[in-house]
Amino acid sequence: MGGVASSVAAKFAFFPPSPPTYEVVTDAETGVVTLSRFPHRENVEVLRLPTRRGTEIVAVYVRYPMASLTLLYSHGNAADLGQMYERFLELSFHLRVNLLGYDYSGYGQSSGKPSEQNTYADIVAAYKCLEDNYGTKEENIILYGQSVGSGPTLDLAARLPHLRAVVLHSPILSGLRVLYPIKRSYWFDIYKNIDKIPLINCPVLVIHGTSDDVVDCSHGKQLWGLCKEKYEPLWLKGGNHCDLELFPEYITHLKKFISTVEKSPSKRNTLKKSTDNFELSRRSTDCLDASRNSTNWREKPRHSTEKLRSKDCMSSNIEKLEKLKISFNFTEKSRRSLDCLQKSRKKTDQLERTRKSVDRLDRVQAA
């Protein structure tokens, strides 16, 4: 039964856009590789990277002049590089960092199929590319994990003792905990971030929307509470799962974080003081009480982010699974992700059996 639960959780974790939103194009004369929807830029390289599990992933490297830090970005579950490309350019520009973003196996034009273990191999391939191709040192890398991307991000971060920092954007506690509020970790769960976050030795910034109807804000709050080296979190009042970049506080807080961690570790005392003062002055860390304003970030015109209309996230399994289907398509308003509602109806019975099996395991372990 555990194997069934693991398989169900994995299927609900990955929604690669179908068809992919881009193709990889090689110019016959110059040999320059680009994404089909975007013109060539001198500061952008498109790469194909082999992984230890035999797949080949597509990555985009954005270079910022004189940058001292590099962001390794793991995107969410329903996006690919075609949808993330413009966001990568904006982040690199506003944060003044180099940035490497990649598609998981089975996403975009990356080969293979998406799975938990494949994503672990994918991020390792991206990290090694930074080391081997660009001479980037571990202590100059910031790992950025969005939604399901928090899984490979924390898995790698737990094995890098000299990492500069970690950013968790709408992160999950674990795969099953998104679907069902289990109280302990099971061997068949996926992306057990709740067990890995205490192993991270560098500063961690958590960003989460208080109105997230896909991954409840409590996930981010609990992960932040388990961090060794906390940085003041950003609970965006009214923020949903896929619109946090539209809030002006998002980029402002990120800039502040980057500026702080850019200092050498011996000079980061201000980070600790900032966190201590924040905890003392804050009566409650309940993200629903956050007082941050929610005006849109207008620094640069953006394509609108598709939002799923929210209902009560606990109303039914069908609605919960439908909300897991998030579209990150910033360039084509008419584009929709695969019809999650239709799929979820077929899988509701299987999820209910999984829930009952988890209940039985809880009762057996309690006895």
Catalytic positions are 147, 212, 241
Distance CA 323, CA 242 (A): 11
* In contact, 361 and 186? CB cutoff 8 Å: yes
Nearest to 174 by CA among 112, 236, 218: 218
Q: What's the per-residue H, E or C state across the chain?
A: CHHHHHHHHHHHHCCCCCCCCCCEEECCCCCCEEECCCCCCCCEEEEEEECCCCCEEEEEEECCCCCCCEEEEECCCCCCHHHHHHHHHHHHHHHCCEEEEECCCCCCCCCCCCCHHHHHHHHHHHHHHHHHHHCCCHHHEEEEEEHHHHHHHHHHHCCCCCCCEEEEECCCCCHHHHHCCCCCCCCCCCCCHHHHHHHCCCEEEEEEECCCCCCCHHHHHHHHHHCCEECCCEEECCCCCCCHHHCHHHHHHHHHHHHHHHCCHHHCHHHHHHHHHHHHHCCCCCHHHCCCCCCCCCCCCCCCCCCCCCCCCCCCHHHHHHHHCCCCCCCCCCCCCCCHHHHHHHHHHHHHHHHHHHHHHHHHHHC
* In contact, 257 and 231? CB cutoff 8 Å: yes
